Structure 1
Amino acid sequence: MNSARLLSRSMDGPDPGEAVLQPSPRSPRRRMTLILLATILALIGAVSAGYYFAMRPVTLKIAVGPQTGDDYKLIQALAQVFARERNTVRLRPVVTDGPAASAVALKSGTVDLAVIRGDLPVPKVAQSVAVLHKNVAVLWALASAEQKAKRKSGKSSAIAGITDLAGKRVGVVGRTEANAGLLGVILQQYGVDPAKVQSIALPAGEVAEAVRSRKVDALLAAGPLNSKTIADAVLATAHTGREPVFLSVDSAEALAANHPSYEATSIPAGAFGGAPVRPDNEIKTVSFSHYIVARDGASDTTIATFTEQLFTARQIVMSEVPLAAKIETPDTDKDAVIPVQPGAAAYVDGEERSFLDRYSDLIWFSLMGLSLIGSAGAWFASYLRKDERTSTAAQRQRLLDMLATARRCSSAEELDTMQTEADAILRDTLDAYENGAIDSAALTAFSIALEQFHNAVADRKLLLSDASPLPPVRGARPQAV
């Protein structure tokens, strides 16, 4: 006996005087389903929001200056490429007066990145991300054609080496005071008291006039080998009629050993072009690096992504800013002058974490959360159905009690009342089965009890009908005795 048959039999139509059944209120199962659905949607929304916040573009402020310098032009070009390519990490340049001011901005925490010089004091919070470029020190004296000829014959008293700069005037090309400090380091390496050498700051545009008016005896410039500033300064010197005589820093290795922020290097012949070729021979000198550094505490994941974008964009920016070709990976050794940022080191060493590596914990905990929510929901649903199961068991027992009562009942009206109650019990039981409060085995047991009840009612009604006296016939006269 299935539930459909029972429902059909019970709902064939109410007996006269049977109460009309009202529709049941929203079932607990439906309420539980709505609660679970709302919880799942809320969790999906939370995960989606977390993914959005994890993957939305991150803007890093980078201090760089001065605005007229090559470093600023390069960083500005990189920022434009990052924005155009819709990269995950974006750059916002913050203009400063120079590398020293950029270092101060990083130390104060107002920026996330900074372009600094390696030969200047490095903030303790700085961690290297990339070498933006390396600058070489170019030192040359000024000589007339006659002095140059005498120098070759060994009879000239002109400047032939760094030790000859004592008592001379050296023009330091550029607006930064850091190059004057570089000159002092070189002089000290050769035992020349920097106080005995007059240092004169010269903007790049005033080099020719200073040479022509004999305001300086030698010049110092620092920048990349392909720097237009150095090439223009050397060319301006030659155009004044005073030939540049390049001074070699032969003690470059010893200087680098004493000052780890410098490296020994050389300037190849013809590096600055011109006719005749300048210089005509390879010149030993020292170099120092301009770094992109990050503030200690920056996200390793963000810096790793930035480093990857930086070396990818380098190829694009090179056509616009040739200086981009000089960008190099940082030194990842533990004894590096500036400690490397862990995210940048992971990129350089090929240990950058993938998306799954970064967010595996989040994904795992999300799955665990879904599992726990599902288990909790199932328990809660079972808890809500506890009363319903208890009620169904009580109604089944009531049906069995009515079965026994029906077999002894002496009134058809009482049987009709019990039939009406049985119909209500049937409705509640089917609702409980639909809601999952009872299983098919319980429904089968109820079906058997209901079948027996219907049979008992039918049998009792038939018995009562046969036992009742016949009604008198109308118009019939009583027979005489």
Structure 2
Amino acid sequence: MSAEAPTPPPAPPPARATVAKSNRAQIILFSLLTVLLTAATVWGGRIWLRNSEMLVFAVGEANGPEAKFAAKLETVLKNNSSRLRLKIAPNPDNTRALAQFDRRDAALAILRTDAKVPPRARALAILEHDLVLVLSPGGKKIKSLTELKRKKIAVIGDGDNSVAFVRSALEIADSPDAAQRVQQAPANTPFDKLFASGFSAVIAIEHASRIIKDKSYEQYARRSGGFTLNPIDAAKALARKYPAISEETVSTGMLSSSPAIPDDELDTIGLEWLLVAQSRMPTTTASELARIIYENKAELALSDGFASKIEPAETDKDAFIIAHPGAAEYINDDTKSFMDRYSDMMYLGAAALSIIGTIFAAIYAKITRIAPKRASELAGAILGIGERVEHATCVEHLDELQDELEAILRRAVVGLRDGSVSSDGLDTFKLGYELVRDEIALRRDHLKRHPPAQDDNVVVVKAASG
């Protein structure tokens, strides 16, 4: 019974092929690490940018509309994951809040246009309109502004500021007589009591949003006698003369639906409440703030109606308070492209990719990379074969040397392809290969022409065996 020959173990892969695989694995690993670290850098940079800017918001008393709006805005910024954060700075009143803003101790504030406007204030949005309502006893219409100036007027509005505004708009000079004729009405005093106490006119300066919700006007209108709402026919002229004043319209039935007051649209004057920012606020910050405000109007409206109809700031150059360039940029083009929104992150990503990729490339080239064998080193092995050619005594020996030479050539070709062999010294390799190949051919011809002598003992053995 014949025994089967054992199967020889598989030949191990060439060392240089292992080197090439190792280098390829390193390249893949470093490429993946570059991508991962770049993504981590961009993500970290985005987190850092989103939490990098704190804005101080100067407001009046804690229960005032300015403070309440600031609190709403703070919540909206958090809900929208904005990088902007607010620090609300309360003051005893809005005048002191504007003083804090004027000292540059605050980045944001709210002002009414009849206030002393800080020179560095730039508008972000119109939050509210205040309408000037000129009321008189029922059936006693005030025909002109000149007639109104001669009457005793009670002012319902924001303290001394409203009284000063009325005197300025009516051009009533400061005097003891003026102080008697234009007075601040006690809070929550009904119109009929003011008329009964000797006032011929009541000027109410109130938020437009509050007027719509206030049912007291309709209740007063239904009482015996009621009241008359008078137009300000000189509204356009006053708005041109005083930039802080805006020309406004009281729509039909705005104060009362039954009876309808007014029964037709009526001209009057008004004031605006503006959210303002420092002129030095970065454009990107103001633009982002404006975007969040305009896109979240419903969430910013107060329960009493303040800021329920937020409007874009006036972007004309002749506006009373010019718009901040960042707000104007968003107002004039509120459709931001992908590049506009994410250009900062893309630039950060490109820079991070360049730096991290350069570092890993240097590590691979100088430290971890297994350097390929130079072709000139393989030439040395070829020359070693050449030295053994002259000692070959038979064709079989030359065949073995020929196989070794071809194996080195094959190794060089494969190595040049996969990177395990460099082309350094390739000319030397080619020259050595051709030289040894020719030597083998010459030695083969020589052995064919001059075969080695046969050993007599060998012949006798062969003959005997035959």
Q: Please point out which of 367, 374, 377 is paired with 1:395.
A: 377
Q: CA deviation at 1:191?
A: 6.4
Q: CA deviation at 1:314?
A: 2.5
Are the structure 2 counterparts of residues 295 and 336 from structure 1 closer, same or farther at C-alpha, using a change threshold of 3 Å?
A: same
Distance of 1:182 and 1:239 partners within structure 2: 30
Identical pairs, percent: 22
Is the Cα contact below 8 Å between 2:69 and 2:301 reproduced in 1? Answer: no
Q: 2:389: which partner in 1? A: 407
Q: 1:162: which partner in 2? A: 148
Q: Please point out which of 329, 332, 335 is paired with 1:349.
A: 332
- Equivalent runs, 1:52-91 vs 2, <5 Å: 52-54=47-49, 60-74=55-69, 76-77=71-72, 79-80=74-75, 83-84=78-79
Are the structure 2 counterparts of residues 312 and 204 from structure 1 closer, same or farther at C-alpha, using a change threshold of 3 Å?
A: farther
Q: CA deviation at 1:121?
A: 2.0
Residue type at the aligned position of 1:404: G
Pairs aligned (count) = 429
Q: 1:114: which partner in 2? A: 109
- Equivalent runs, 1:319-468 vs 2, <5 Å: 320=303, 322-350=305-333, 352-360=335-343, 363=346, 366-367=349-350, 370=353, 388=371, 392-408=374-390, 435-438=419-422
Q: Please point out which of 283, 297, 312 is paired with 1:300.
A: 283
Q: CA deviation at 1:287?
A: 0.7
Distance of 2:367 and 2:456 partners within structure 1: 55
Residue type at the aligned position of 1:363: M
Q: Match of 1:307, SS?
A: helix
Q: Match of 1:161, SS?
A: helix
| Residue 42, structure 1, aligned to residue 42, structure 2 | no
| Residue 205, structure 1, aligned to residue 188, structure 2 | yes
Is the Cα contact below 8 Å between 1:248 and 1:284 reproduced in 2? Answer: yes
Residue deviations 1:228-281 (CA, integer Å, cap 9, x gap): 599577689889999656565443333222211102334456543287665678
Are the structure 2 counterparts of residues 352 and 250 from structure 1 closer, same or farther at C-alpha, using a change threshold of 3 Å?
A: same
Is the Cα contact below 8 Å between 2:91 and 2:97 reproduced in 1? Answer: yes
Distance of 1:39 and 1:434 partners within structure 2: 23
| Residue 181, structure 1, aligned to residue 164, structure 2 | yes
Distance of 1:319 and 1:178 partners within structure 2: 23
Give the TM-score of the pair, scaled to structure 1.
Answer: 0.64
Q: CA deviation at 1:200?
A: 4.5
**Unpaired segments of 5 or more residues in structure 1?**
1-7, 13-22, 412-417, 472-481
Residue deviations 1:87-117 (CA, integer Å, cap 9, x gap): 6766665444444333333334444332211
Q: CA deviation at 1:82?
A: 5.3
Are the structure 2 counterparts of residues 82 and 27 from structure 1 closer, same or farther at C-alpha, using a change threshold of 3 Å?
A: closer
Distance of 2:73 and 2:160 partners within structure 1: 27
Are the structure 2 counterparts of residues 470 and 325 from structure 1 closer, same or farther at C-alpha, using a change threshold of 3 Å?
A: farther
Is the Cα contact below 8 Å between 1:135 and 1:287 reproduced in 2? Answer: yes
Is the Cα contact below 8 Å between 1:81 and 1:313 reproduced in 2? Answer: yes
Q: Match of 2:63, SS?
A: coil
Q: CA deviation at 1:338?
A: 1.0
Q: Please point out which of 196, 199, 202 is paired with 2:178.
A: 196
Cα RMSD over matched residues? 5.8
Residue deviations 1:98-150 (CA, integer Å, cap 9, x gap): 44333333334444332211121222222211111111123445x6xxxx78x
Q: 2:3: which partner in 1? A: none
Is the Cα contact below 8 Å between 2:123 and 2:274 reproduced in 1? Answer: yes
**Unpaired segments of 5 or more residues in structure 2?**
1-7, 13-17, 394-400, 458-466
Is the Cα contact below 8 Å between 1:128 and 1:339 reproduced in 2? Answer: yes
- Which region of structure 1 is more displaced relative to structure 2, 106-115 or 332-341? 106-115
Q: Please point out which of 213, 216, 221 is paired with 2:204.
A: 221
Q: 1:135: which partner in 2? A: 130
Is the Cα contact below 8 Å between 2:60 and 2:95 reproduced in 1? Answer: no
Are the structure 2 counterparts of residues 282 and 185 from structure 1 closer, same or farther at C-alpha, using a change threshold of 3 Å?
A: farther
Q: CA deviation at 1:397?
A: 3.0
Q: Match of 1:197, SS?
A: helix
- Equivalent runs, 1:230-309 vs 2, <5 Å: 231=214, 244=227, 248-268=231-251, 270-273=253-256, 284-309=267-292
Is the Cα contact below 8 Å between 2:231 and 2:267 reproduced in 1? Answer: yes
Q: Match of 1:298, SS?
A: coil
Are the structure 2 counterparts of residues 344 and 401 from structure 1 closer, same or farther at C-alpha, using a change threshold of 3 Å?
A: same
Distance of 1:233 and 1:35 partners within structure 2: 75
Distance of 1:386 and 1:86 partners within structure 2: 44
Q: Match of 1:339, SS?
A: coil
Are the structure 2 counterparts of residues 357 and 206 from structure 1 closer, same or farther at C-alpha, using a change threshold of 3 Å?
A: same
Q: CA deviation at 1:172?
A: 3.6
Distance of 2:257 and 2:92 partners within structure 1: 32
Residue deviations 1:340-391 (CA, integer Å, cap 9, x gap): 12232233223543231344476368558757976897798678899956x6
Q: Match of 1:293, SS?
A: strand
Q: CA deviation at 1:286?
A: 1.7
Distance of 2:369 and 2:78 partners within structure 1: 60
